[in-house]
A and B are shown apart, each in its own frame.
Chain A
Amino acid sequence: MKMPIIVSDHMDPDVDFYVPPGSDATQVLQEALQLALVYGVAHIIIRGRIYVYASSQVPLLLDQSLHYIFEGDGLGEIVYVNPNGVSNVPPLIAISSIATAQMHYITSNNGVVNVQEADYSTWGWIIGFKNLRLVNITSQRWLIITGMPYHMHSIMFYFDTVQFFANIWLNQTATVLLYNCYVNNSELLFDTQSREVMAIGCRFENNASLAISPRGWTVVGCVFVGTNVTYLNPGIDGNNGSVVGCVFDGSTIVTQGADNLKIVASQFQNVTFSGGSVQLNSGINYGIVGCSFYGYNVVISDLYRGHSVFVAFNNFDAGSNLVVLVRDNYTLDSVVILGNIFSSDPTHSSLIFISGSPIPGQTLQLTGVAKMLYIAFNTFINASHTSGPVYGYELANNYRIHGLAYINLGVNVIYAYIAFNYFQENYGLKDNSTGQPLGFFSLQQITINVKPVQNLFFYFNVNENNPMYIPSSQTYTAQFNIGIS
């Protein structure tokens, strides 16, 4: 007799619980979990495909009496169905955390563990899913929900080689690991007060999304493929996340206020699909380093809490603009654009736009301020060496910042150092709106609120005969340049 408890729709001799194909496995799974208490660990092997019928009760309520490992035999499948027409279908799996909730109230007297540690620790509790295909064809949006009772930060999930054809919504988790998972047209949402999510080697496609709000997460070596509704979405409080070595094709990173997001060494290219983008909103300390953007706009907007945006050592190719927008009436401390290449082609320009975005619910004024602007060691080229149009960027309320130059400012700037850049000859690229030849620098006073840069410096640049578009009131200092007088 082996420890794993085998639940199967096959009549193999080693099967503990046989579930005829298509019939309801609810009771069998509950009995398997009850039986697992002889070991203290529920290692449930799912062989074949089993169905769980929705009822008024959550079929599988996982409490803190067991460790749980649900594992497919090779690949097992759990399909959540509603053949009885239950009106309010509950999730298939919910989690309760009685022990951890109690640990919140332990005394600190004669302590063997810090109370906060007891409160937030998994203390080794594991809920694992392996080699499984999870399918939800009920009306319930979420296959798995961890509720939000008081003090629940104790859950350690791992999903190893799980295929999600079902949404999951986990709240107040501790460590969650997604490893070698596949997500199709489904949402994985790690929400309120969660902690420490890691997605490694996973594939998201066909309207799939990874939405994460925990503080402290990482997505490594993952693939996001599909139309622009396949996305990675660090939520409002999805702070301190890292995206490393990922591949995006037609998909999107969109944030809603996550701080300290780092996007590193990732590939963004519309190879098979189109419409991909990077949209970082409302957070601070964004860092984009060592990435490749090919036909991908990078838009960092609604910056209103100071701090910095750091974009370095990337390539922006074939229609990949870098857009940085400061919220009206707010100040961004610095923008650092360092060591990138911006490679344009006719109709597929890759330019820098630094401008503004409105206060939510109001119209755009362009009263924001980017205090310190460093643009250095970048290369700006027309890769095709052929003439053609370049495009601007449409701001809110139909305002538009034109593609007049490789670097376009449309917001208030106090200090700007533009140094050590190479502005290649534009080879006939022209702003599509005004018809003017592409310059190396423009300041566009889109509204009367945009003032001249207070301190504008050009040092050590090389500019191959590209014009500069600045208002007559703009003064600047240019030294040690070639092609800038």
Chain B
Amino acid sequence: MFVSKENKLLELNRRKFLSLASSTLLISTPIAILINERKEDQEKIDKASSRSSLTTTYPYIAIVEGNPTNGYNVITNSGIIFNGSCNSGSGTCGIYEAIEYLQNNYGEGTVILLGEFYPIKSPITTPLSNIEITGSGIIYINPNSAPMFISLIPSIKNVKIRWYSNIGAINKILSKRLSFSSMPYVLFTNTSYSLLFANGQQALGTPSQFTISAWIFGKPSGYTGYILTYGSLDGGEAWGIRAANNEIIFEGTSGSISAPYPSSIPFHITVTYNNGQASIYINGNQVTSGRVSISYPNVAYLWINNFPIRSQQGGINPGSWYSTIENIQFYNNVLSISQISNLASSIGQDPVTTPVFWGLYRYIMYLGDLITGKGFQRMGALCYSGVV
């Protein structure tokens, strides 16, 4: 669609168009009016300017409008080029189709989003040049579409981005800051760094059943090799997941189970615990199980990486110049095999049901628990400190 800068006669229509386009009230039904007006004026509105209530950087625009109930349209100078659901086509509710159209026809342009979008795929994961995405729409991303839309953030203005599932504190956070990352943002550059999660005296409670899930990028230590620990230095260890002597270990207050350390990293680990019966799953497959006894100390925090009770360098060995412990989820129940398999399917897999704790999820950059919104305690020697 071209809009003429010189043609003042058409300014009213253009303004009306852009005003409508920028209105959140316009979801689906007013599009008919819009299209009719556009058709009537189509020959005359070429190359009009975009100086209006909705400022666009580029003269070429494609409008993507819709909602999950009524479906989505992509309206262009060539007519409607997409009509379908978020599953259709690229799996981006037509947004990628609009981008593609502008790139192929003009090499640049503005995508205007009106409505609510629930994309489910990431056909592109690199930033775009000469494409701008604006409008009054809201994009609800999920783990599969997060890579695309996080990479597009430099091109996005005004459009809101939220998580598809309003879990914990996520959307409260995202409503104020687009705090995303496509990479893990806490890199442990040595074995002594640590993060603590405190929430009352016993941060994760005292469950008799639980599941803990995380993605690990690191190598086993020759000594302690703590990855995740629940306990305190004065009160002792309730349980810990360690990587030492080429083994992955889950230990309780007494008793432990272990299995060979995975041959490739990163890997996914799940530990389930059910009244003394513990199991370790690596990449969704159970590798060992056995009896482990857990006694909770009065003060217990979740320690991530180093638990300096036996060694000040008690964390996991770096996988390269750093190690990561990502996407940590803690549930107060024993997850099913299929749920564990689901968690192991992707490093960006979000919770399969509402967890007690969820932290260091790479897509949501937040130095704390995404469920409660509480931060990690980290201001002290051996703690991971400073700006995120």
Contact = CB atoms under 8 A, between A and B. Distances in A.
Interface of A: 1, 5, 16, 31, 34-35, 37-41, 63-67, 98-100, 102-103, 105-113, 117-118, 121-125, 154
A400 B157 CA distance: 82
Interface stretch (B60-68, B341-349, B364-372): B364-372
Interface stretch (B135-143, B206-214, B304-312, B325-333): B304-312
Nearest to B223: A110
Given A38-B177, A111-B312, A112-B192, A65 B233 contact: no
A1 B301 CA distance: 34
A37 B234 contact: no
Interface stretch (B48-56, B168-176, B267-275): B168-176
B319 interface: no
Contact of B368 (A37, A100, A103, A118): A37
14 contacts: A1-B178, A31-B172, A37-B367, A38-B366, A63-B375, A64-B383, A65-B376, A65-B379, A98-B198, A99-B379, A103-B381, A109-B311, A110-B312, A123-B380
Contacts of A111: 312
A110 B192 CA distance: 10
A334 to B, nearest CB: 43
Given A107-B309, A123-B383, A99 B378 contact: yes
B379 A35 contact: no
Contacts of B234: 102, 105
A125 B368 contact: no
Contacts of B177: 1, 35, 38
B387 interface: yes
Nearest to B197: A65
Nearest to A5: B176
Contacts of B223: 110
Most chain B CB inside 10 Å of its own CB: which residue of A106, A112, A117: A106
- Closest 7 pairs (CB-CB, A-B): A65-B375, A118-B381, A105-B233, A99-B380, A125-B379, A38-B179, A64-B379
A175 to B, nearest CB: 14
B23 to A, nearest CB: 19
Contacts of A98: 196, 198, 301, 377
B283 interface: no
Q: Which of A31, A66, A99 has the most CB of B within 10 A?
A: A99
**Chain B interface, >50% SS class:** loop
- Chain B residues touching A, range: 35 or more
Nearest to A16: B176
B165 interface: no
B238 to A, nearest CB: 15
A480 B63 CA distance: 106
B269 to A, nearest CB: 25
Given A39-B387, A40-B388, A123 B312 contact: no
Contacts of A124: 379, 385-386
A120 to B, nearest CB: 10
Given A38-B173, A40-B367, A109 B383 contact: no
A34 B170 CA distance: 11
B381 A123 contact: yes
Nearest to A63: B377
Nearest to B198: A98
Nearest to B179: A38
Of residues B190, B314, B376, which shows the largest number of chain A Cβ atoms within 10 Å of its Cβ? B376
A123 B384 CA distance: 10
Interface string B163-204: 000000100110011110000000000101000101000000
B232 interface: yes
A109 B308 CA distance: 9
Contacts of A37: 173, 366-368, 373, 375
Contacts of A106: 233, 308-309, 312, 381-382
Nearest to B375: A65
B304 to A, nearest CB: 13
Given A35-B177, A105-B309, 8 more contacts: A38-B366, A65-B368, A65-B376, A98-B198, A103-B383, A106-B309, A112-B190, A123-B380
Interface string B107-119: 0000000000000
A113 B381 CA distance: 7
Nearest to A31: B172
B382 A109 contact: no
